[in-house]
Amino acid sequence: MSNNNAEMIKNDVRETPAPAKSGMGMLLLGILGLILSTALIVAGGVLSDLSVVWLAVLMPIGCLLMPVMIILLVGLKTIRPNEALVLTLFGRYYGTLRGEGLYWVNPFTSVYNPAAKTRLGQSGDVKSDLPSPNAAEVPNYKIPLKVMTLNNSKQKINDCLGNPIEIGIAVMWRVTDTAKAVFNVDNYKEFLSLQCDSALRNVVRIYPYDVAPNVDTTGDGVADDGSLRGSSETVVSRIRDEIQQKVSYAGLEIIEARITYLAYAPEIAAVMLQRQQASAVIDARKMIVEGAVSMVQMALDKIDEEHITTLDDERKAQMVSNLLVVLCGNKDAQPVVNSGSIY
């Protein structure tokens, strides 16, 4: 194990549940305390006309009780389904609050999420500090635990043959360990996006865009038919596995990866289109010629079997030539009636 890996494991922070109580009791206690403190302050002011003692006793009690109740109410935390709060206490990890409901925790704890202002768009790359349509909107420091989608922008990458291509992927992911996501990396959303880009480049460089001869995409030393266009399931599986290997340290799980866009880069797209068209024409011509030759052979065999006529080698050659012209031509044949001999 390298020194870097050993240092990462040493500094690894794992999720632990935060000490918490039901928040309903503390909510009622805080409300009653505020009402009582307000009543004491008012009573001290009203009864001060009767005796200064009431002002000296009730007013201080009410003034002390009110901030205490306010501090207690600060410890109330509301959690919705599939959300979590990472709490710190004086710079130390205090625990993670999971599970929907109202909870009360140590009021001196603070919520920590460095990726609160970072959004992963459905149709773009990472964008931080996005302007909000509502200027008063407060960043949400809760960590979502639901399945989310990252759709990174298209990248230009050279395949194994050096041809530049444009490719984009969509990755479905979720947070499994909130402490690792918050403390092990600076910003787990940006970290995920960068690792997706890196893994995509590493895998794409192994494959050609189309099937190419003498290309080994599996690493076993034997040429195969792997390609980005024809082996998409294998490609995305390798991309998902490589991303997962890179982001496990950040407490993230990659559920699925899919290719959303795949094409040659614009500078070679026209040339590659001509190449594909030429290859298609050659394959079609090859099939036509093979079919024509088999039909000519069938015609000659049928003539011999039925004893329709006897053809010498020269007449057979003439017949084969005419049939091949008719069967392989791009235009309909024009019939010519020969009333004489070919000699």
Closest CA to 79 of 105, 100, 107: 100
3-class state of residue 174 by DSSP: strand
Encoded tokens for 128: 């931080």
Note the pTM of the prediction, 2 decimals.
0.71
pLDDT of residue 239: 94
| 278 backbone dihedrals φ, ψ, rounded to 5° | -65, -40
Q: What is the pLDDT of residue 135?
A: 44
Q: Please, what are the domains in the chain? A: 12-109 (no CATH), 118-129+140-264 (3.30.479.30), 279-328 (no CATH)
Angle CA 96–67–30, to nearest 5: 65
Model pLDDT, residue 4: 52
Coil/strand/helix, residue 7: helix
Amino acid at position 129, single letter:
D
Q: What pLDDT, on a 0 to 100 scale, did the predictor assign at position 129?
A: 53
Give Dmax (Cα) for the chain: 146
pLDDT of 15: 87
Mean pLDDT by groups of 10 residues along the chain of 343 residues = 50 84 89 86 67 65 85 91 94 92 92 87 52 56 91 86 89 94 93 92 90 83 85 91 94 94 80 70 78 80 75 74 71 60 53
Q: How many CA atoms lie within 13 A of 108 on its CB side?
A: 5
So what's the pLDDT on residue 6? Answer: 47
CA angle 177, 182, 184 (to 5 degrees): 85
Q: What pLDDT does residue 333 have?
A: 60
